[in-house]
Structure 1
Amino acid sequence: MNHSVQPSDYAKRILLVVTGMSPQILTETLWGLTVADENPFVPTEIHVITTLEGAERARLLLLSEDPGWFQRLRRDYQLPEIAFSTAQLHVITNREGMAMSDIRTPEDNEAAADFITDWVRQLTADPDCALHVSLAGGRKTMGYYLGYALSLYGRAQDRLSHVLVSEGYESSPDFFYPTPYERIILVGPQRKPLDCAQAQIDRADIPFVRLRDDLPSRFMTDHVHFTAVVQATNRALQPPKLVLNRRSQQLLADDQEIPLTPIQFALYWWMAESIKQEDPYVDWASAEAAVQFLKTYRQVVSEFSADYDDAEVALEWRIKDPRDVKSYFATNQTRANQKFSEILGQTAAQRYQIHKISKRSAGQLYTLHLEPEQIEIL
Structure 2
Amino acid sequence: MKNYRNVLIITLGQAPAIVTETVYALLRPTADEAQEVARPWIPNEIHIVTTTKGRTDSQSVVVGYDCELAQLCRSVGVPYVQPEFLVPRLKATGAEVEDIRTRDENVAYANGLTRLIEAKARPSDTQLHVSLAGGRKTMSSYAHAALSLFGRAQDELSHVLIEPSDLEGAASRFFWPGQADRVLVIKGQPFDPIDATIQMVRSPFVPLGDYLRRHPFPMGEIDYARMIDHAKAAFALIDVRIDTRRQSVTLGNVSAELGDQEFAFFRVLATARAERWSEYGPGGAGENQGGWVAYRQFLDTDSIAYKRFFEYWSACYVGLPSQVFDTFKSALDALLAELKSLEHGPGPRKPEKIKATRKAAQDMFKSIKKRTSRSLESTFGASKSAAQILPKVVHYRRDDGVKGWAVGIEAEPAAIKFKPLEINAT
- Does structure 1 retain, via aligned residues, the 8 Å contact 2:62–2:68? yes
Tell me the CA shift for residue 94 of structure 1: 2.2
Distance 1:327 1:272, change over 3 A: closer
Tell me the CA shift for residue 78 of structure 1: 1.9
Aligned partner of 1:228 in structure 2 is 226
The correspondence for 1:149, drawn from 137, 146, 150, is: 146
Tell me the CA shift for residue 349 of structure 1: 3.7
Q: Which has the larger radius of gyration?
A: 2
Distance 1:324 1:55, change over 3 A: same
- Does structure 2 retain, via aligned residues, the 8 Å contact 1:121–1:220? no
- Does structure 2 retain, via aligned residues, the 8 Å contact 1:337–1:354? no
The correspondence for 1:270, drawn from 255, 258, 261, is: 258
Output the CA distance in 1 between the equivalents of 2:52 and 2:133.
19
Q: Is residue 183 of structure 1 aligned with residue 182 of structure 2?
A: yes
The correspondence for 1:20, drawn from 13, 18, 30, is: 13
Q: How does 1:153-164 map to 2 (within 5 A)?
A: 153-164=150-161
RMSD: 4.5
Secondary structure class of the residue paired with 2:161: strand
The correspondence for 1:93, drawn from 89, 93, 102, is: 89
Tell me the CA shift for residue 40 of structure 1: 0.7
**Matched letter for residue 332 of structure 1:** R
Distance 1:57 1:337, change over 3 A: farther
Output the CA distance in 2 between the equivalents of 1:227 and 1:273.
42
Q: How does 1:187-336 map to 2 (within 5 A)?
A: 187=186, 190=188, 192-215=189-212, 217-219=215-217, 221-238=219-236, 240=239, 253-254=251-252, 268-270=256-258, 280=267, 288=324, 322=364, 325-326=367-368, 329=371, 332=374, 336=378
- Does structure 2 retain, via aligned residues, the 8 Å contact 1:13–1:131? yes
- Does structure 1 retain, via aligned residues, the 8 Å contact 2:261–2:368? no
Output the CA distance in 1 between the equivalents of 2:89 and 2:55.
12
Output the CA distance in 2 between the equivalents of 1:326 and 1:80.
62
- Does structure 1 retain, via aligned residues, the 8 Å contact 2:262–2:372? no
Output the CA distance in 2 between the equivalents of 1:254 and 1:133.
33
TM-score by length of 2: 0.60
Tell me the CA shift for residue 79 of structure 1: 1.6
Aligned partner of 1:29 in structure 2 is 22
Output the CA distance in 1 between the equivalents of 2:368 and 2:385.
26
Output the CA distance in 2 between the equivalents of 1:43 and 1:155.
17
Aligned partner of 1:313 in structure 2 is none
Distance 1:254 1:180, change over 3 A: same
Deviation by residue 1:253-303 (Cα, 9 ceiling, x = unmatched): 535x8xxxxxxx9xx33359987x9x956889x9949xxxxxxxxxxxxxx
Structure 1, gaps ≥5 residues long: 243-250, 258-264, 290-320, 357-363
Aligned partner of 1:62 in structure 2 is 62
Secondary structure class of the residue paired with 2:74: helix
Output the CA distance in 2 between the equivalents of 1:205 and 1:329.
49
Secondary structure class of the residue paired with 1:178: coil
- Does structure 2 retain, via aligned residues, the 8 Å contact 1:130–1:157? yes
Q: How does 1:75-154 map to 2 (within 5 A)?
A: 75-82=74-81, 84-85=82-83, 88-96=84-92, 97-154=94-151
Structure 2, gaps ≥5 residues long: 31-37, 242-248, 269-308, 314-321, 326-362, 397-405, 422-426
Output the CA distance in 2 between the equivalents of 1:180 and 1:61.
11
Deviation by residue 1:23-43 (Cα, 9 ceiling, x = unmatched): 110110000100244311011
Tell me the CA shift for residue 235 of structure 1: 3.4
Deviation by residue 1:109-138 (Cα, 9 ceiling, x = unmatched): 223222222211111111011111111001
- Does structure 1 retain, via aligned residues, the 8 Å contact 2:89–2:108? yes
Aligned partner of 1:312 in structure 2 is none
Identity of aligned residues (%): 27
Aligned partner of 1:297 in structure 2 is none
Output the CA distance in 2 between the equivalents of 1:234 and 1:118.
19
Distance 1:327 1:74, change over 3 A: same
Distance 1:120 1:136, change over 3 A: same
Output the CA distance in 2 between the equivalents of 1:101 and 1:58.
14
Aligned partner of 2:71 in structure 1 is 72
Secondary structure class of the residue paired with 2:89: coil
Output the CA distance in 1 between the equivalents of 2:146 and 2:378.
29
Distance 1:273 1:228, change over 3 A: farther
Output the CA distance in 2 between the equivalents of 1:203 and 1:92.
27
Tell me the CA shift for residue 147 of structure 1: 1.1
